[in-house]
Amino acid sequence: MRKIAFALPLLFVAGLSAQTSETLVYRALLSNTNEVPAVTAAASGTATVWLHVVRDSSGAIISGSADAYVNYQFAAPSTITAMHIHTGGPTVNGAVVVPFSVARTDVTTDPGTLPAVQTQFPSAAVPLDTIKGIVADPSQWYYNVHTTANAGGAMRGQLQRTDVVVRMAQLKPENENPPLTAPWSGVGTSITLITRNPAGAITSAYAIFDVKYTGFPDDTQFTGMHIHLGPTGVNGPVTIDSGLRGPIPVAAGGTGTLHFEAEASLTRAGALQSLEALTSNTNDIYYNVHTALRSGGAMRGVVLRTDRTNFQVSLSGANENPPVTGITPASGSLELFTIRNPDSTVAGGVTIFDANLRFPAGTTATATHIHDGAAGVNGPVTIDSGLNSGPILLSDGTGNLYRMVTVATGAGLATLNDLMINPEKHYWNIHSTANPGGVVRAQVAAPVTGIPTITTMLNGALAASQPGVAPGGLISLFGSDLAKVTGNTAGFNNYSSLPTTLNGVTVTVGGTPAPLLYVAPNQINAQVPFEARNGQSIVVTGANGSSTPVGTVSAAYAPAIFSDANGGLVFKVANGSRVTASNPAAAGDTLLFLLTGLGQTTPSLTAGLITPRDVRFETETVTVKMGGANAAVTSSRAVPGFTGVYQVMATVPAGLTGTTAKVQISAPFPPLAIFGAANYSGSNTVDIAIK
């Protein structure tokens, strides 16, 4: 049996504000052999385009800017004359559609990087239709670098969509092998840009490393910073290099930041395996920082998943104290990536400031921060983007401000924690030379004053035809003001149980805390405690108070099969493929069904526990009917690595006709005395494709 990979569907509806901002990343693998016709002078490299777009309330792109930088290597010293995005596939020469200035023209044969440059749109040179076309299908556009020797192009490559993977690590000397006893520590961020070909194979990767460290002696010299391949307690090889080439002296006082970026070598042993581990959330890679005295590693930590929170913000001069007039508001995206402690508090995070500016010509943006403070109140800076070390001159007043910072300790960490609960108590401010106190600002989110209200309760599979929920099963609550900030458990790493508090929200069933998987203003996904009984009250409590209690409809078993827009989540056990109209099941195939609501197992499970992988937690015997016929059941148990999710394996019986068969899964009828509820032992019905 092959490994079956799946993600459970999650219903989430988010409203668009008047304008929204986002950054899309594209990369191109540049080569002289890609030119049409190919040129003989060897040249290679990569181009990375950060496309910052602003959308209106319908989602249409209305403005933005693009940053581009190029990593290069030429066989002979060259003079670069231009670089652009052109329209056209890989076999044609197309027109220039997005020009970029060239910050440095003369390059040697040594590998190097052209500094980032920016262009705005819409403009006479870059109409919106061009940007919309790139977003729709980047493969029909290419990046070209021109030189004096090859005026038509020295190296080029088609644009590719790029995955941006954000991971973190808690760096400690005691994590080294052998362990070190030392007073220093750190928190590391890894942002990796990864492209793939149509078959899914990785074609390039760019690694951004950012470490906040503290406690190092004044004579420390940093010599390296890498990702290594190897599990906890094992010393593995360097697989992704940050580009740090020491010695780099420690900052004054032993506290500072290391920030380095480099193209990842895909030919390095273990690199592809490490990059796949980054995207698949395995714990087989670790972050390591090396010093001159600790060449084997001074502090290290396993690479951890992060959760993501995005705030769309409109920053205005009218919000400043005192107000600033004559300034066009800035559309901004504030992204927070965090790792969590077992109690759901934030252990560390990454803050990405992404603002699209339309300021007066000649404006110099000097700083951008998160401050503590209510609307109209000037409060202290708690999260600094670091822009003050590199101000941006906006010659025509337009452009994008994009900065990331790792937040690990002190006031910044306290603000990150409170942003997940009370974002209206903090504001984002952008400062300029003309307005050092702030030119535009806004609260991170609007105030929410309502108390939680539950309007609808469904099983976690959202199967309306199954009105019951079962102890240990998943439940979805819908309503209003259920949470101020959307959150999930992606940032919980290596913990055995789900939290009972998430972003300041708790749910109780009959007074017993329910483990939480997801919270949002209009929806909460949770696990029903095993102690729950029919009629007990469900209560949601948040920062503003508690909801009116709503009674449960609970039975010992209330099976509900998961499905999405493409039908039931049903897989062929033989090869792990999903059953679809183009991949129908046949008589004799063993199928795996995913469902919730099958109650307690043997041995017993505890609410919130991530089902262990080394023990089979079996349910009561179930019945599976396919097309009205009984199917032989192979097994029914809790899914390892999940909470409240079960898998049932059954074999397709012979004799089914047609193109689809209806499937229903039933659990044994429990004594009513146990729960005092109606029988909910039959699941919803789903269709599967057959042949």
Q: Report pTM.
A: 0.93
Mean pLDDT calculated for residue range 350-371: 96
Asked if 460 and 646 count as a contact pair (C-beta separation under 8 A), the reply is: no
Q: Give the span between the Cα atoms of 400 and 397, in whole angstroms.
A: 10
Q: Give me the pLDDT at residue 108, please.
A: 87
Asked if 199 and 174 count as a contact pair (C-beta separation under 8 A), the reply is: no
For residues 159-195, b (16+ Cβ closer than 10 Å) or e, as one string? bbebeebbbbbbbbbebbeeebebebbbbbbbbbbbb
Q: Give me the pLDDT at residue 553, please.
A: 83
Phi, psi of 143 (to 5 degrees): -100, 135
Would the pLDDT of 11 be above 90?
no
Over the stretch 248-288, which tens digit does the pLDDT of each residue have? 999 999 999 999 999 999 999 999 999 999 998 777 999 99
Q: Residue 658: pLDDT band by 50, 70, 90 thresholds?
A: confident
Over the stretch 84-98, which tens digit does the pLDDT of each residue have? 999 999 999 999 999
Over the stretch 195-245, which tens digit does the pLDDT of each residue have? 999 999 999 999 999 999 999 999 999 999 999 999 999 999 999 999 999
Measuring CA to CA, how many Å separate 426 from each of 19, 184, 376, 438, 480? 21, 31, 11, 15, 23
Q: Give me the pLDDT at residue 675, please.
A: 55
Asked if 647 and 592 count as a contact pair (C-beta separation under 8 A), the reply is: yes
Q: Give the span between the Cα atoms of 624 and 374, in whole angstroms.
A: 57
Q: Give the span between the Cα atoms of 561 and 538, in whole angstroms.
A: 23
In 320-447, which ranges are continuous DSSP H helix? 410-419
Neighbours of 291 (CB within 10 A): 23
Q: Parse the chain into domains and list their residue ranges.
A: 19-161, 164-302, 314-443, 450-691
Give 275: exposed, middle or buried? Use CB within 10 Å, 0-12, 13-18, 19+: buried
Give 91: exposed, middle or buried? Use CB within 10 Å, 0-12, 13-18, 19+: exposed
Asked if 594 and 562 count as a contact pair (C-beta separation under 8 A), the reply is: yes
Q: Where are the beta strands (DSSP E) in 75-136?
A: 78-87, 96-100, 106-107, 112-121
CATH number of the domain at 314-443, please?
2.60.40
Which CATH superfamily does the domain covering 450-691 fall into? Answer: Immunoglobulins (2.60.40.10)
Give 37: exposed, middle or buried? Use CB within 10 Å, 0-12, 13-18, 19+: exposed
Asked if 168 and 306 count as a contact pair (C-beta separation under 8 A), the reply is: yes
Over the stretch 335-348, which tens digit does the pLDDT of each residue have? 999 999 999 999 99
Q: Give me the pLDDT at residue 473, please.
A: 97
Q: Give me the pLDDT at residue 2, please.
A: 46
Average pLDDT, the chain: 94
Q: Give the span between the Cα atoms of 514 and 457, in whole angstroms.
A: 14
Residues 6+ apart with CB under 8 A from 608: 497, 498, 499, 500, 515, 527, 643
Q: Is the peptide bond before 612 cis (omega within 30 degrees of 0)?
A: no
Q: Give me the pLDDT at residue 672, please.
A: 53
Measuring CA to CA, how many Å separate 513 from each of 262, 446, 509, 510, 527? 46, 29, 7, 8, 10
Residues in the chain: 691
Q: Residue 674: pLDDT band by 50, 70, 90 thresholds?
A: low
DSSP state of 37: S
Residues 6+ apart with CB under 8 A from 17: 57, 312, 314
Q: Give me the pLDDT at residue 510, please.
A: 95
Q: Give me the pLDDT at residue 390, please.
A: 80
Place of tokens 């500016």: 357
Asked if 119 and 126 count as a contact pair (C-beta separation under 8 A), the reply is: yes
- In percent, the amount of the chain with pLDDT more than 90 equals 88
Would the pLDDT of 511 be above 90?
yes
Beta-strand relationship, 629-638 and 570-572? unpaired
Would the pLDDT of 1 be above 50?
no
**Taking Cα atoms as reference points, which of 323, 421, 327 lies closest to residue 378?**
323
Would the pLDDT of 414 be above 60?
yes
Q: Residue 554: pLDDT band by 50, 70, 90 thresholds?
A: confident
Would the pLDDT of 383 be above 60?
yes
Mean pLDDT calculated for residue range 110-120: 91
- 19-161 shares its CATH topology with 164-302: yes
Phi, psi of 421 (to 5 degrees): -120, -45
Q: Give me the pLDDT at residue 4, please.
A: 59
Angle at alpha carbon of residue 228, lines to 223 and 233, rounded to 5°: 105
DSSP string, 622-674: -EEEETTEEEEEEEEEEPTT-SS-EEEEEEPPTT--SSEEEEEEEPPPPPHHH
429 CB-side CA count, 13 A:
33
Over the stretch 123-142, which tens digit does the pLDDT of each residue have? 999 999 999 999 999 999 99
Mean pLDDT calculated for residue range 613-639: 96
Token readout for 476 is 């979805």
**Taking Cα atoms as reference points, which of 510, 452, 521, 509 lies closest to residue 475?**
509
Over the stretch 40-90, which tens digit does the pLDDT of each residue have? 999 999 999 999 999 999 999 999 999 999 999 999 999 999 999 999 999
Cross-strand bridge partners of residue 339? 348
Mean pLDDT calculated for residue range 395-414: 94
N-to-C CA span, the chain: 22
Q: Give the span between the Cα atoms of 572 and 560, in whole angstroms.
A: 19
Top-tier CATH class for 19-161: mainly beta
Q: Options 1.10.10, 3.20.20, 2.60.40, 2.60.120; which CATH number does 164-302 get?
A: 2.60.40
Q: Give the span between the Cα atoms of 156 and 158, in whole angstroms.
A: 7
